[in-house]
Amino acid sequence: MTDVKKIGDRLAEDTRTLMAEGINVLAIMPNDYKAYPEDSPEKMKQFASQHGFDFPYLIDEDQSVGKQYDAVCTADFFGLNREGRLQYRGRLDNARMDDPSDRVPELLNAMRTIAATDKGPEDQQPGMGCSIKWREN
């Protein structure tokens, strides 16, 4: 199983848990897929289907959302409270590309904290992944 597949499966599992608890989930892909066809909407649909994503997976066509949130990599996770204020910016978990058997599901835990308190956790580790493929102007 590839590292990306492992991460996609962990994301799908954690987001199913969040949605079952009434916490909304949304994914936004900001990469310039015209310059990088491997990130095309069709490829993202395939990726979402392979991992069983049950949440909306949107394309940031003009990259404005990614820029607004200062996104730097894929995946970069953002958790908003009820008022739409940013409370979490971090990684999925502490496993990275390693064995996830003893992982701490940081995104899952952060979103549960935000749902309960409207505040994100004090300790937040930055997301890790490939740099966003920004469109050249």
Position 136 in a domain? no
Position 137 in a domain? no
Q: What is the C-alpha separation between 32 and 38, in angstroms, rounded?
A: 10
Domain with residue 75: its CATH number is 3.40.30.10
- Residues of the domain holding 82: 3-131
CB atoms within 10 A of CB 21: 11
Tally of domains in the chain: 1
Position 79 in a domain? yes
Position 100 in a domain? yes
Q: What is the pLDDT of residues 102-129, one digit of tens each?
A: 899 999 999 999 999 999 999 999 988 8
Name the nearest CA neighbour of 11 among 22, 21, 25: 25
Q: What is the pLDDT of residues 10-69, one digit of tens each?
A: 999 999 999 999 999 999 999 999 999 999 999 999 999 999 999 999 999 999 999 999
